[in-house]
Structure 1
Amino acid sequence: MASLSLIKISFALSLFFFLLPSSSSSRLSFTTIKNHHQSLTTNYAKSETERLIRSFNLFPEDLVNIIDNEPGFTPGSLVEKKFSFLGSSGPSVEDLGHHAGYYSLPHSKAARLFYYFFESRTSKDDPVIIWLTGGPGCSSAIALFYENGPFKLTNNLSLVWNEYGWDKVSNIIFVDQPTGTGFSYTSDEDDIRTDEAGVSNDLYDFLQAFYKEHPQFSKNEFYITGESYAGHYIPALASRIHKGNNAKEGIPINLKGFAIGNGLTNPGVQYPAYTDYALDKGLITEEDRDSINKLIPDCEEAAKTCQTDGGDTCSDAYQTCQAIFENILSITGNINYYDIRKQCEGPLCYDFSNAVTFLNDETVKTALGVKNLKFVSCSDTVHRAMLNDEMKNLEVDIPSLLEDGIRMLVYAGEEDLICNWLGNSKWVHAMEWSGQKGFESATTVKFVVDGAAAGDLTSHEALSFLKIYKAGHMVPMDQPKVALQMLKSWTGGNLAA
């Protein structure tokens, strides 16, 4: 693959993910962790986010993009331009169909969402998909560079074609959201979202503007994808689109399905699964499991209270349930909780700092049209604003989507601890819908790629669950060929064929 140097680039990218963890590399006593939830403070939430940012070696200079007195805000406007990474030696801008721009959110005071849109390398009739990164508050740019975008970023800040980019089988959109993430920004702090209603309404408004700008794609099938905290975003957006379509709001969106990768969707079910997963993987002993499991009843009760009462009961629930995860980490030490096959040495669980350097280069920023903004890889401000959203159960709207034939794929790399496959499997199996018994009795088969077993697949009607071998939290990074085949097969309606 030919290298595409930074000097020749006439435009650039952005993407990231993740559930922000709280952890410690030193062993903590059971009593200390059990009582830890009683001291939730703003400073504690801030330290959690800062630890995540350090663990990916990101070190953003700003916590959020808020610009004072930004002039010229026109609600509902979309400004987009084409770009090319290939310079004069490659295909023209028109040939590539690469776009980026800003959308001024209509239900905001001054918020602008930044996005990238890559037309399919194969056929413009391929499905349109949107990728959402988690956090909350992490940019979709890292996924673009390190997971499933058209290009990958090398150590010398050059770009190479990604052989397994998802634009090979789809027209793909990457969005920096919620407001304040990545290159998305505002001039009013009131635009920082605090719940899934705000997040999903913004994304729905963006998609309406996107299809108005690109009407030729409105007939294509549409799918929502993402990972980690997008386990919240994705069901919320799918429900919002479905409701909009049923109410005949605006431009109909041809929603066919949504896929959640290593997601956090139903915390009240997923947190209690931590100990069984950790025991099965040899991370803790049976004695450890039995001791930590004493925290589970309080966690389950707190999660239920959050769902019914909301507000600060949700941040209390987070602290109560997080004690389970903390206790495991006090035993495992420096393990990389996104991929337990690896150690997290010091602050460098992963090193994505090249993306931060690349996107903060003045040449790149000028090409992107992002003015004097600093690229915010993971926003502490956005994360803390969503603190009362984390323990919400986003499974509640999924059954009605399945009943109407909208397909859901939940996939998970088997080596991820923080959003592990077992917890995801448990909430999927526990979900009440008309096909629940059929899903429970369905035969699990091997998902085969190029003649080799790549995972375990269970499917019934509109629902599929796929455990992927030899992958951690970021399946498209760890198993790019498998992830691409998964997307192609699923959107083609033959995942279980």
Structure 2
Amino acid sequence: MKMKKKNSTTLFINTLIFFSLIQFQTSLSLSDSSTSFPKEALPTKSGYLQISPTSTSSIFYTFYEAKNSTSPLSQTPLLIWLQGGPGCSSMVGNFYELGPYLITNSLTLQPNHASWNRIFGLLFLDNPIGTGFSVASTLQEIPTDQTAVAEHLFAAITRFVKLDPVFKHRPIYITGESYAGKYVPAIGYYILEKNAKLKDFERVNLAGVAIGNGLTDPVTQMVTHADNAYYVGLINERQKNELVKAQLEAVELVERRNWSEATDARNRVLNLLQNMTGLATLYDYSRKIPYEDYLVAKFLNIDEVRKALGVNVDESFVYEKCSHVVGAALHADLMKSVKYMVEKLLKEGMRVLLYQGQRDLRVGVVQVEAWVKTMKWEGIVEYVNAEREIWKVNGEVAGYVQKWKSFTNVVVLGGGHLLPTDQPSNSQAMIEDWVLEKGLFGNVLYSNVSTKSLYDE
């Protein structure tokens, strides 16, 4: 990816305009309504969270309070959603997947009865800076690795919690999908590291992390594509061998630590698979057309919509669903693993949920299963040997749940990469039951699980 001059110029212009308007503003409560944005669809709060007292860079957010909390507001769980990319806006998750109102083809909003803020608070962050409506004061401040991503997220989350005393003690669950398979472990890991050094009242009340169709251990995941496509019946053996060769080229580049070239090589693998299969999208092999998430950009480039959300950018600013500038900054980061961060979370007893839509060929069931089995965690043998339970919602099979202690892995039937779009009700049931530890997502009888390793057979 190359940084486009137009994007860079726009970035700097918008930064100047942005901070002339909201130098001291960190949040905005919304009360106005518009034709495209009905009053009832407005966020509870929205605005900007500065990442540092010495920087004008800020993360844009929209927050929706729980509609029908089942506990006092001060104890109601708070979900944080991070989109993938790298460089894709969390407004995609907000208005196309799991927010309280979703975009229609006519660029209007309709209620989402399967939204994730039914009983939880829901916070969307445009991450990293430079993504969506978030502001990067300089190109150099845009993160190039997960440590920098986590530093900015930590600053934004702690600033958000300080906006209202009711947020202080609420349990926080960080969620996200796709490339957020790196963001989520990174901020979770960072919070554990920071909390160990902070006083009680300064700590972030992290209760768990959830990753949907996540890219977490890229090399291990990438080398599964050939076998996966072959056994699903999408390619023949000759094509499989061609894909294997392309995968090994990427592995060799990783071993030589040629990170950017390795990312390019992975892209070639996926492009090759796309060309071989002729599918509408690798994100869901059953779809006849790709996801229509481009509607988000059309919607958010309407002036009155931006005003309703409290966005402060110049009228010439063009909102992008995914930022090429941010994607370029993290290009070399893509093939680097954060598996050790997930291992750290589990070792510390943190609750971890992985979930995948059954039909995703890019970062789906096979890809996640591959890296999970390689984790260095004392519970991995018990997890691998744990029962894979049939999970039902309203009496119908929704998928399968496998867990051991604080680690849970879910396969959701009939879903692809953007799972909440494909299976809204089941996705809502999954996240609610996991957070509340209900049904199959509650405690299991560990004494009934075999401790014999599958690797010994």
TM-score (norm 1): 0.80
Q: CA deviation at 1:369?
A: 3.7
Q: In 2, Cα distance between the equivalents of 1:84 and 1:305?
A: 55
Cα deviation per residue 1:435-458 (whole Å; 9 max; x = unaligned)? 011111111111111111111211
Q: 2:26 aligns with which of 66, 71, 79?
A: 79
On the 8 A contact 1:65/1:185 being kept in 2, the answer is no
Q: Which amino acid aligns with 1:242?
A: L
Q: Which residue of 2 aligns with 1:247?
A: 197
Cα deviation per residue 1:237-292 (whole Å; 9 max; x = unaligned)? 00011111111167211111111101110011000111121112211113322342
* Structure 1 residue matching 2:26: 3-state secondary structure: strand
Q: 1:116 aligns with which of 62, 65, 68?
A: 62
Q: Greater CA deviation, 391-400 or 289-298? A: 289-298
1:371 and 2:313 correspond: yes
Q: Pick closer, same or farther for the CA change 1:351–1:272 going to 2, 3 Å.
A: same
Cα deviation per residue 1:184-221 (whole Å; 9 max; x = unaligned)? 12332222221111111000001111111122122111
Q: Which amino acid aligns with 1:111?
A: S
Q: Which residue of 1 aligns with 2:275?
A: 330
Q: Pick closer, same or farther for the CA change 1:460–1:143 going to 2, 3 Å.
A: same
Q: 2:372 aligns with which of 425, 428, 433?
A: 428
Q: Which amino acid aligns with 1:103?
A: L
Higher RCO (CA-CA < 8 Å; seq separation 6+):
1
Taking only aligned residues, the RMSD between alpha carbons, in angstroms, comes to: 2.8
Cα deviation per residue 1:73-101 (whole Å; 9 max; x = unaligned)? 8999652122258789x9988x9871101
Cα deviation per residue 1:154-187 (whole Å; 9 max; x = unaligned)? 2232222110000002101001111111111233
Q: How does 1:386-425 map to 2 (within 5 A)?
A: 386-425=330-369
TM-score (norm 2): 0.87
On the 8 A contact 1:62/1:374 being kept in 2, the answer is no
Q: How does 1:45-84 map to 2 (within 5 A)?
A: 45-46=1-2, 62=7, 66-68=11-13, 70=16, 72=19, 79-84=26-31
Q: In 2, Cα distance between the equivalents of 1:74 and 1:364?
A: 18
Q: In 2, Cα distance between the equivalents of 1:335 and 1:118?
A: 33
Cα deviation per residue 1:331-367 (whole Å; 9 max; x = unaligned)? 11243111111245xxxx2333432222121222233
* Structure 1 residue matching 2:373: 3-state secondary structure: helix
Q: In 1, Cα distance between the equivalents of 2:294 and 2:9?
A: 18
Q: Which amino acid aligns with 2:300?
A: L
1:440 and 2:420 correspond: no
Q: How does 1:30-49 map to 2 (within 5 A)?
A: 45-46=1-2
Query: Which consecutive unaligned segments of at least 5 residues does structure 1 have?
Result: 1-44, 51-60, 307-312
Query: Which consecutive unaligned segments of at least 5 residues does structure 2 have?
Result: 443-457
Q: How does 1:122-271 map to 2 (within 5 A)?
A: 122-123=68-69, 124=73, 125-248=75-198, 251-271=202-222
Cα deviation per residue 1:463-491 (whole Å; 9 max; x = unaligned)? 11111110010110000001000001110
Q: CA deviation at 1:144?
A: 0.8
Q: 1:361 aligns with which of 302, 311, 328?
A: 302
Q: Which residue of 2 aligns with 1:279?
A: 230
Q: In 2, Cα distance between the equivalents of 1:362 and 1:86?
A: 13
On the 8 A contact 1:227/1:261 being kept in 2, the answer is yes
Cα deviation per residue 1:42-101 (whole Å; 9 max; x = unaligned)? xxx24xx99xxxxxxxxxx9578513372758999652122258789x9988x9871101
Q: In 2, Cα distance between the equivalents of 1:193 and 1:108?
A: 16
1:292 and 2:292 correspond: no
* Structure 2 residue matching 1:339: 3-state secondary structure: coil
On the 8 A contact 1:129/1:222 being kept in 2, the answer is yes
* Structure 1 residue matching 2:216: 3-state secondary structure: coil
On the 8 A contact 2:7/2:325 being kept in 1, the answer is no
Once the two structures are aligned, what percentage of the paired residues are identical?
A: 31
* Structure 2 residue matching 1:213: 3-state secondary structure: coil
Q: Pick closer, same or farther for the CA change 1:289–1:488 going to 2, 3 Å.
A: same
The count of aligned residue pairs is 429
Q: In 1, Cα distance between the equivalents of 2:367 and 2:398?
A: 20
Q: In 1, Cα distance between the equivalents of 2:380 and 2:117?
A: 33
Cα deviation per residue 1:370-426 (whole Å; 9 max; x = unaligned)? 231432221111101111110010111211211211011111101111112101111
Q: In 1, Cα distance between the equivalents of 2:335 and 2:23?
A: 31
Q: Pick closer, same or farther for the CA change 1:149–1:92 going to 2, 3 Å.
A: closer
1:341 and 2:263 correspond: no
Q: Pick closer, same or farther for the CA change 1:156–1:63 going to 2, 3 Å.
A: farther
Q: Which residue of 2 aligns with 1:21?
A: none
Q: Which residue of 1 aligns with 2:449?
A: none
Q: Greater CA deviation, 220-229 or 296-305? A: 296-305
Q: CA deviation at 1:107?
A: 6.6
Q: Which residue of 1 aligns with 2:325?
A: 381
* Structure 1 residue matching 2:430: 3-state secondary structure: helix
* Structure 1 residue matching 2:117: 3-state secondary structure: helix
Q: Which amino acid aligns with 1:287?
A: R
Q: Which amino acid aligns with 1:214?
A: D
Q: In 1, Cα distance between the equivalents of 2:175 and 2:330?
A: 20
Q: Which amino acid aligns with 2:269?
A: I
On the 8 A contact 1:224/1:259 being kept in 2, the answer is yes
Q: Pick closer, same or farther for the CA change 1:323–1:371 going to 2, 3 Å.
A: closer
Q: Which residue of 1 aligns with 2:445?
A: none
On the 8 A contact 1:273/1:422 being kept in 2, the answer is yes
Q: 1:321 aligns with which of 260, 266, 270?
A: 266
